[in-house]
Amino acid sequence: MIDTLKKTILAGLGAAVITKDKVQDSLDEFVKQGKITAKEAREAAEKIAEEGRREFEEASAKVGDKVREIMSYPDAKYLPRLEALEARVAALEAKAAHRSK
């Protein structure tokens, strides 16, 4: 599961890098065509980068919260075993308490 999360996050980062490069190429092309100035291109790149950072941070926080939530629940496969062990411990504690009286 952790490997899947790592791969997903890395894929997202890879997509972000590709997107950044495409945005930069498009802005450079607009400057060459005279549609925007170099200053406007820099401002647009900064705005896009800031929005991307904000969205990445929000997505990272959501993923982290979800992972913590998932990890806080016992795996369904192990739940019956945990319940059986808890019952055995309770029985042993009761037996020990009975003997000490």
pLDDT at 21: 78
Grade residue 50 by pLDDT with cuts at 50, 70 and 90.
confident
Residue 33 has a pLDDT of 93
Q: Is the pLDDT of residue 57 over 60?
A: yes
- Inter-CA distances, 6 with 2, 30, 43, 89, 93, Å: 6, 36, 32, 38, 43
Is the model more confident about 20 or about 25? 25
Q: Determine if the pTM surpasses 0.85.
A: no
Point out the least confidently predicted range of 42-46, 61-65, 67-71, 89-93: 67-71
- What is the reported pLDDT for 55? 82
C-beta neighbour count of 71 within 10 angstroms: 11
Kindly list the domain boundaries of the chain, sorted by start residue.
2-74
How many angstroms separate the CA atoms of 95 and 82, rounded? 20
Question: Of residues 101 and 64, which shows the higher confidence score?
Answer: 64
- Mapped onto helix, strand or coil, the DSSP state of residue 98 is helix
